[in-house]
Each structure stands twice: as C-alpha cells, then as structure tokens.
Amino acid sequence: MYMSQLYSPTLRETPADAEIASHQLMLRAGLMRRSAAGMYAFLPLGLRAIRKVEQIIREEMNAIGGQEVLLPIVQPAELWEESGRWGDYGDEMFRLKDRQGRQFCLGPTHEEIITALVRSEVRSYRQMPLRLYQIQNKYRDEIRPRFGLMRGREFIMKDMYSFDRDEEALDASYWAAYHAYARIFARCGVEAHPVEADSGAIGGDVTHEFMVLADSGEDLVLFCPKCEYAANVERAESVRTPVQREEKPELGELAKAATPGARTIEQISEFLQVKPEDCIKTLLYVADGKVIAALVRGDHNINEIKLRKLLGCETLELADDETIFKATGAPVGFAGPVGLKIPLYADYAVEHMVNAVVGANELDHHMLNANLERDFQVEVFADLREAQPGDPCPRCEGRLEGARGIEVGQVFKLGTKYSRAMGATFLDENGKEAPMVMGCYGIGVGRTVAAVIEKNHDDDGIIWPVSIAPYHVIVVPVSMKDEAQAEAGQKLYEELQAAGVEVVLDDRNERPGVKFKDADLIGFPIRVTIGSKSLEQGAMEITIRRTGEKMLVPAADVVSTIENLLKDGETR
C-alpha cells in the first residue's frame, strides 16, 4: 500500500471529547471516526486491526470445536418473551416495529435466537456437545456512551454458545473456552486477568470476566497477592469476621439528637464528631413491589447485586422519596432501623456494632447509642456490602488489593435458564427428555483493540504488537524528489511484498518530520528509513518502534533482517 493512497487521515490535535489514550489515538491515527454518540466508522487501518483480532479468535474457537454461524441482528420480540427478558432487559434495548406493527429489537446479545435455532434441529444427546459462535455487531442504548470503543452503543462482539447434555459436559465446554480466551488475549499482546464476576442480565451462576488492568478501566478489580483469588468488585466476597472482646461493652442509653441539615454520613460524622464506621446507613428498596430496608456500616457501600440474590427477587429498586416518607415518616437522609415496620436485612459488619448512630425517622434528627436486639431486630445477616482494598481475602490469610480493569471478555455457565424457558430439550441415552445445558462466551473485539492501545502507547502514538498491527513495516524515503531514494524505496517495497511482509511505502512529498511523526502515531512496528547518506554506504536504517532501537543494515540484508525480527518477536 502506498501512503499517498492509504485513507488514514491523521490529526495533530487531540479531539476535545476523547478522554482516554485509546480513544484519542484511534482518532488521531486515522483508525476510526465518530458517526454518532457511541457509534464509529472504522477506516482501513482500524479495520485491519479489527480483522486480525477476529482471525485470532476464529483460530482459537475452531481449535476447541467451535463452528461459526451468523445470526440475525434484528430479533423478534416473541423469542425474548419466551425467555422472560423482553420486559426485563430495560432501556438499553433498541426496540422497533415493522410495517405490520410487529415488535423487534436490535440484538444486544443472542441467547434467545441461538436457543430457538438449536431447539429446532437438535434432538439427541449424540448431537452434542455443540459449540456455535459468531462475530458481528451488537446494539445497546447506553445511557452514557464514553471512552470511544470502551462503552459504545454499536460494537463488534464474538459470542459463542455451547449446548451440552449435563453439568459435567458444560464444565468441559466452559473451561475449554476459558483457556482459549487466555490464549486469544496473549496472542493479541495483552495480559488479561480472569476474575470472578456477576452474570447480570445474561444469567447463570458461574462466570469469569477477563480484565486488562489499566488506570482508564471502568471496573474495580480486587485481588489477593498471596493466592489466585480475584473478583470484580460486584462479585468480591466480604469475610464475616468474628469480633472478640475482652469484656462485654456497656450499652449507652438510646437518645435522640438534633442534626439540622445533616443527611449524609460525612455530614453526620462531622456534626456529631463520630467516625463513619460508628454509623449505620439505612437504605430503603422496593423488591418485587415490597418495601425492605438494608443496613450497612457508614463507611461501606451496599452491593445491590448481593442484596438482590439474598432476597431472590426479580426487580430491586431504590425507594423513591414518597415511598421513603410513607415508610419512615421522614424525608431522604433520616431513615433508621429503630421503630421501622418493614423487614430489615443487614450486612455482617453491622452484626457486632455497639452504640451506633442511626437515622431517627424524623426530619433533622438522628438516634445515638442504637443497638441490635434491644432497639431493632434484623431478619437476616449476610454479605451485602461492596468489598474494598484492605479487606481480608476470602480464600487465604492475605489482604485484598485493588486495580482498575477493562473488561475484554466474559464466560458464563448458563445452565438451563434459557433451555427450560424456551423448550430446548433432547432425548438422553435412555430416551428421556431433558433440557440442554448451556454456556455462553463473549469477547468485545473493538474493546480488545482499544485495550491493546491503552497498554501499548507512548507520547508519540500507538505501539502495536506485531500480531494485530495494521501493517508491519513502513518504508520511508527521506525525499521522494531524490531519484535514488525513490527507486530504492520502491525496490524494497516490492521485495518485502514478495516476502509476504505487510508493508506501506511512504511515497508522499512531505517533510521527513511529518513522515516520521505519522509513522510513530500510527505505530508501524518497523520503520525503514532511506536517506542519501545511508544509500552512499549501501545501507538502510531500521528503527524498532517499541524500543526505539536503530540499526544500520546493508541494503541486501534488509528483507531478511525484517523477516527475522518479525519471526522472533523482537518488535512485540
């Protein structure tokens, strides 16, 4: 490819709306352009990187018995109604009607349609295991698209679905995909850490996310440096720590205190001169239409996913102002457990609190010296809070540490969630009908490219791993007006092409500085510079983008040197 013909409009200035490195560099290097909020057009260089990630994915999916299919983006509502998710998925789903008024959606995921497909064809246990995957666009109407490809409304995903006869067979499919994912991300040039996670709207009880650790990551990952435990903050466990006291604490007298204008834990702590950990937050929720209260220590945050699982409810929402006033007799900010006539559920950390500060269920008042059993009773104690760095590890004697992470993939054990709801059954070896046992496995293709850039860049631009670099080599004659340089550049370009090297010739009549800046910005792993002085010596200069190393190589050896560098991974 000639640079003069390559559609790669580079930018010298960083677009104002690009907040993180990958977003900035993908725009500046001419990899993509914004078409609408959360939607991007891929230009040739960006699409080449995308296609290389897709090829790595295909090779690894095929290696574990995956078969590629292509499912419709537009999905009929009735399939989602069968699974029960049409009403539950929420506002993120793009919904539409055809001219006959029938309802459809743009697929945010494809569990329903793949299940419907397989149930119509698979009848016997002999047809399983079955692992079907696709690579195509998904659509989710994110309330706040941001960070370029990290959180978009249209994005490319690889999703695979496995169908097995029992849990043991599902386990084999799950771990096959899990290990394939580790190979995929390693081949793409990033280290992706598997962490325990929540399954969200997809469903299932067992799931792992693959996280690339980066300061720009939206998710907090907690991990133990002493063992292999790692989890997304949504899933991370908090340990129930017994409290040992030498003597029984003296219980203070329950008393009401005026706290004008103090609604938050910070305001209450400052006004009453107490520590946040000596306060109890009382949060009111509506769970499947029933009002309940959740109690956590003042310096902790509630984990709504854990609360929903404890309650076993389908819907869980924070109570609105009217509901809170009706249940407590006070506005938001003054709810407390004393005297509440609704079920109370408390985090383990509340279990051993003594003489706590709680809301008084009265405007501008709180209660001092509130104690369990004497002043209020709890239905159930459970792990209801967000774990945080410094907490004890739930697996060993270590302490959890935290890091930001970019989710690039996730694997799920779905079990029979969809097959039971949608009647996807088979006949086992005894002729008995049973539901298929399913798993699903997703990779964000564009997000993987963005994560690679987040971990591989410098002040000058992108530093591509060879495996997914749009092109491997750029040949840069310092001056195309110099006939000798132009001829040498053309000759090397043709020789590299003949050797199967992906190469670009910068044949533009631009200043050398412009050419070098573009080469570094786009991130070609190898640059070959052809200048008049080096040609006089019968040599050319090779520069390694990642390390900045330069070497003067005889012209006759340039092709073989580049082949060896690419083969040995010296430019990775």
Which residues, other chains included, contact 314 with Cβ-Cβ below 8 Å and sequence gap of 6+? 88, 288
Shared-domain flag, residues 183 and 259? no
Structural domain of residue 134, as residue ranges? 21-191+415-453
Is the pLDDT confidence value at 200 over 80?
Answer: no
CATH, residue 182: 3.30.930.10
* pLDDT band with cut points at 50, 70 and 90 for residue 206: confident
Structure confidence at residue 89 (pLDDT):
87
In a domain, 51, yes or no: yes
In a domain, 203, yes or no: no
Give CA–CA dist 5/45, Å, rounded: 12
CATH, residue 311: 3.90.960.10
CA 388, 393, 399, 404 torsion-angle sign = negative
Is the pLDDT confidence value at 421 over 90?
Answer: yes
DSSP string, 256-271: EEE-TT--SHHHHHHH
pLDDT in tens, 398-413: 999 999 999 999 999 9
What is the number of domains present in the chain?
3
DSSP string, 453-489: HHHSEETTEE---GGG-S-SEEEEES-TTSHHHHHHH
In a domain, 212, yes or no: no
> Exposure of 260 by Cβ count < 10 A (0-12 exposed, 13-18 middle, 19+ buried)?
exposed
Which residues, other chains included, contact 455 with Cβ-Cβ below 8 Å and sequence gap of 6+? 189, 190, 212, 214
CATH, residue 524: 3.40.50.800
> Exposure of 437 by Cβ count < 10 A (0-12 exposed, 13-18 middle, 19+ buried)?
buried
Neighbours of 439 (CB within 10 A): 27
pLDDT in tens, 237-280: 998 887 776 678 899 999 999 999 999 999 999 999 999 999 99
Is the pLDDT confidence value at 570 over 90?
Answer: no
Shared-domain flag, residues 120 and 267? no
Per-residue H/E/C for 299-350: CCCECHHHHHHHHCCCCEEECCHHHHHHHHCCCCCCCCCCCCCCCEEEEHHH
Structure confidence at residue 496 (pLDDT):
98
In a domain, 204, yes or no: no
Structure confidence at residue 246 (pLDDT):
66
**Nearest CA among 486, 454, 477 for reference residue 529:** 477
Shared-domain flag, residues 482 and 449? no
For all residues of the chain together, what is the average pLDDT? 95
* pLDDT band with cut points at 50, 70 and 90 for residue 314: confident
DSSP string, 91-135: TTSEEEE-TT--EEEE-S--HHHHHHHHHTT--BGGG-SEEEEEE
> What are the φ/ψ torsions at residue 310 (nearest 5 degrees)?
-60, -45
Give CA–CA dist 420/88, Å, rounded: 18
* Contact (Cβ atoms closer than 8 angstroms) between residue 451 and residue 148: no
* Contact (Cβ atoms closer than 8 angstroms) between residue 184 and residue 150: no
Shared-domain flag, residues 424 and 506? no
Question: What residues are paired with 76 via a beta bridge?
Answer: 104
Between residues 203 and 304, the one the model is more confident about: 304
* pLDDT band with cut points at 50, 70 and 90 for residue 88: confident
Structure confidence at residue 399 (pLDDT):
95
Shared-domain flag, residues 34 and 95? yes
In a domain, 119, yes or no: yes
For the whole model, what pTM was predicted? Answer: 0.89
Is the pLDDT confidence value at 203 over 70?
Answer: no
Pairing of strands 550-554, 206-213: unpaired
> What are the φ/ψ torsions at residue 133 (nearest 5 degrees)?
-135, 160
Give CA–CA dist 509/43, Å, rounded: 23
pLDDT in tens, 9-23: 999 999 988 999 999
Structure confidence at residue 232 (pLDDT):
92
Structure confidence at residue 74 (pLDDT):
98
In a domain, 9, yes or no: no
Shared-domain flag, residues 139 and 279? no
> What are the φ/ψ torsions at residue 159 (nearest 5 degrees)?
-130, 130
Structure confidence at residue 454 (pLDDT):
97
> Residues 193-212: what's their mean pLDDT?
81
> Residues 364-393: what's their mean pLDDT?
96
Shared-domain flag, residues 348 and 441? no
pLDDT in tens, 450-505: 999 999 999 999 999 999 999 999 999 999 999 999 999 999 999 999 999 999 99
DSSP summary character for residue 86: T
Shared-domain flag, residues 307 and 362? yes
- Work out the percent of the chain whose per-residue pLDDT is above 90: 92
Question: What residues are paired with 68 via a beta bridge?
Answer: 133
Structure confidence at residue 199 (pLDDT):
66
* Contact (Cβ atoms closer than 8 angstroms) between residue 330 and residue 319: no
**Nearest CA among 466, 464, 460, 438 for reference residue 450:** 464
* Contact (Cβ atoms closer than 8 angstroms) between residue 318 and residue 267: no
Run of H or E residues at 35:
strand 32-36
> Exposure of 313 by Cβ count < 10 A (0-12 exposed, 13-18 middle, 19+ buried)?
middle
> Exposure of 460 by Cβ count < 10 A (0-12 exposed, 13-18 middle, 19+ buried)?
middle
Select from 382, 407, 435 the last residue of a domain.
Answer: 382
Which residues, other chains included, contact 100 with Cβ-Cβ below 8 Å and sequence gap of 6+? none
Is the pLDDT confidence value at 571 over 80?
Answer: no
Shared-domain flag, residues 447 and 547? no
Shared-domain flag, residues 25 and 156? yes
Structure confidence at residue 243 (pLDDT):
75
In a domain, 199, yes or no: no
> What are the φ/ψ torsions at residue 107 (nearest 5 degrees)?
-60, 115
Shared-domain flag, residues 100 and 185? yes
Give CA–CA dist 544/347, Å, rounded: 55
* Contact (Cβ atoms closer than 8 angstroms) between residue 530 and residue 485: yes
> Residues 351-379: what's their mean pLDDT?
97
**Nearest CA among 504, 451, 406 for reference residue 53:** 451
Shared-domain flag, residues 59 and 136? yes
> Residues 99-115: what's their mean pLDDT?
97
| Two tokens, residue 278 | 């000596």
In a domain, 462, yes or no: no
* Contact (Cβ atoms closer than 8 angstroms) between residue 350 and residue 295: yes
Run of H or E residues at 179:
helix 167-188
Angle at 278 between CA 275 and CA 282, to 5 degrees: 120
> Residues 422-441: what's their mean pLDDT?
96
> Residues 130-147: what's their mean pLDDT?
95
